[in-house]
Amino acid sequence: MSITASRQLFSRLLSANSKKCMKCLANVRFKSDQTDKKDNDLKVSGKLEHAVLKKFSEPLQIESVDPPKRLQSTEVLIDVNYCALNGLDVLLIENLYTHEQSLPFVPGYEVSGKLIEVSEGATKAGYNVGDKVIALNKNRFGGLAEQCVAEIDDVWKIPTSIKSIDAVCLLENYMTALIGLEQYGSISEEDMVLVNVGIGGIGLAAVDIAANIFRAKVVIGVGFSEDRADKIRDRGAFHAFTYKEKKLIQEIEEIAGERGIEKIFEGDSGEHFKKVLNSFMNVYKSKPPSKNLLRDDNFCVVVQHLSREGRILIAGVADTNPNKNDKDWFTVTGISLKECRERKLELYRTTGDDVISFFEEGLIKPVPSLVAGFYKVNDAVKFVSEMKASGKVVIDMKNKDAEVKFN
């Protein structure tokens, strides 16, 4: 082929590809322009968008609605940057929780953002427009919206140095784990801590707190799958393994033996320990695994005394409704942040403060499993429902068209 012919061929190819590229860029720009136009239309009309459930187990619908009405005396209005999608949200969407949620329903109760309106009572409590905040809105929900109303008892101010996407991963999991380990287990450096992590979430937070806040002597994590075991190690556990019923006792005996704790499962105390373990490990025995693993009130803590060798804290996801016909049944009670708020408001508030301080000091490291734009919310619901999430699933309320991003 002559040089002239080659140049002509290259020119034609370049021209064709350029047209394709320009068409692709035009499509991307057209899509972006459509989103910008929609956002501008909403601003002009004074409308906001939210994701609402109209019928159980059906996709959430994106709707335009009027802004929240006048605030009550102890309320604030949050401009939502991020909303976490938790297991409780999905159980309510699928009508699998202990009570049936009234419809229509806007899920989402763990949000981060800025205050854009504050009531008189909120001002007296020290809240101001522009404050950067996180909220745990379990009495109201409504977080999957551009703006949401919250009670000041459920709102914490955060330093500007904390990113909103990190902040939205803090409260639910770390508050529950901290209350369990500190209030129910009185955890100390001398303790051996066994955490049944389950699929992640609160269990991973418990490992993080036990290993990096209280620096417990030994932290062991049991996970739902091998990838969860890797995440348990990342949080600082000394040992992490996937649940296998026949090997569990042996693995615990070996770890205890390495630290001079012998005959851990012998005698009456050993039999009691086996029953306690059974109540935690029962969550793995249904096939496929039960969606009870997504619940928000099945994190438990039990103290097992080991005579002269000290004690073990058994914490994590447990079967809180055992079969009492089982000769090895053992009752454990789950920790509910909603009940804590109602009965021990001061503890609820100070625990939130502590968790924020731990993160600011770099002692804990929550990591989201998935981040998705608001318009991908139903993909996120499916991800949680299929129990693929080990960390938080976060919805980006500002970058609405953002693709699903896995961590």
Per-residue pLDDT reduced to its tens digit, 278-327: 888 888 887 777 888 899 999 999 999 876 667 899 999 998 876 666 66
Which band of pLDDT confidence, cut at 50, 70 and 90, is reported for residue 23?
very low
Indicate where the chain has its CATH 3.90.180.10 domain(s). 48-169+367-406
Closest CA to 317 of 211, 194, 191, 189: 194
Which band of pLDDT confidence, cut at 50, 70 and 90, is reported for residue 328?
low
Task: Please classify residue 359 by burial: count the beta carbons closer than 10 Å to its beta carbon, then call 0-12 exposed, 13-18 middle and 19+ buried.
Answer: buried
3-state SS, 140-184, equals: CCCCCECEEEEEHHHEEECCCCCCHHHHCCCHHHHHHHHHHHHHH
Which band of pLDDT confidence, cut at 50, 70 and 90, is reported for residue 18?
very low
Contacts of residue 10, defined as CB under 8 A and 6 or more positions apart, other chains included, come to: none
Residue 243: what pLDDT?
A: 86
Residue 150: what pLDDT?
A: 98
More confident residue, 348 or 190: 348
Closest CA to 371 of 75, 221, 169: 169
Terminal C-alpha separation, the chain? 51
Q: How far is CA 30 from the centre of its chain?
A: 35
pLDDT (average), residues 6-26: 44
pLDDT tops 80 at residue 232: yes
Task: Give the side-chain half-sphere CA count within 13 A for 96.
Answer: 16
pLDDT tops 80 at residue 388: yes
pLDDT tops 90 at residue 76: yes
Number of Cβ within 10 Å of residue 188's Cβ equals 13
| Bridge partners of residue 62, in order along the sequence | 51
pLDDT (average), residues 325-332: 71
Number of Cβ within 10 Å of residue 252's Cβ equals 22
Indicate where the chain has its CATH 3.40.50.720 domain(s). 176-338
pLDDT tops 60 at residue 202: yes
Q: Per-residue b/e over 367-392, b at no fewer than 16 CB within 10 Å?
A: bbbbbbbbbbbbebbebbbebbbbbb
% of the chain with per-residue pLDDT over 90: 65
Pick from 193-202, 223-232, 351-360, 397-406: least confident? 223-232
Cα Rg of the chain (Å, integer): 25
pLDDT tops 70 at residue 15: no
Q: How far is CA 45 from the centre of its chain?
A: 34
- Nearest-angstrom CA–CA distance, 154 and 158: 13
pLDDT tops 50 at residue 20: no
Reported as type and span, the H/E element at residue 12 is: helix 3-45
More confident residue, 214 or 243: 214
Closest CA to 322 of 280, 375, 359, 274: 280
Strand runs labelled E in 187-279 = 192-198, 218-223, 239-242
48-169+367-406 classified as CATH 1.10.3720.10? no
Number of continuous H segments (helices) and E segments (strands) in the chain: 12, 15
- Nearest-angstrom CA–CA distance, 68 and 77: 8
Which band of pLDDT confidence, cut at 50, 70 and 90, is reported for residue 329?
low
pLDDT tops 70 at residue 19: no
Closest CA to 366 of 87, 175, 107: 175
Matching residue, tokens 């040089």: 3
Homologous superfamily, domain 176-338: NAD(P)-binding Rossmann-like Domain (3.40.50.720)
pTM above the 0.75 mark? yes
pLDDT (average), residues 179-204: 94
pLDDT (average), residues 162-182: 97
Q: Measure Cα distances from 61 to 229, 322, 402 in Å.
A: 36, 37, 17
pLDDT (average), residues 94-120: 96
pLDDT (average), residues 38-57: 81
Length of the chain: 407
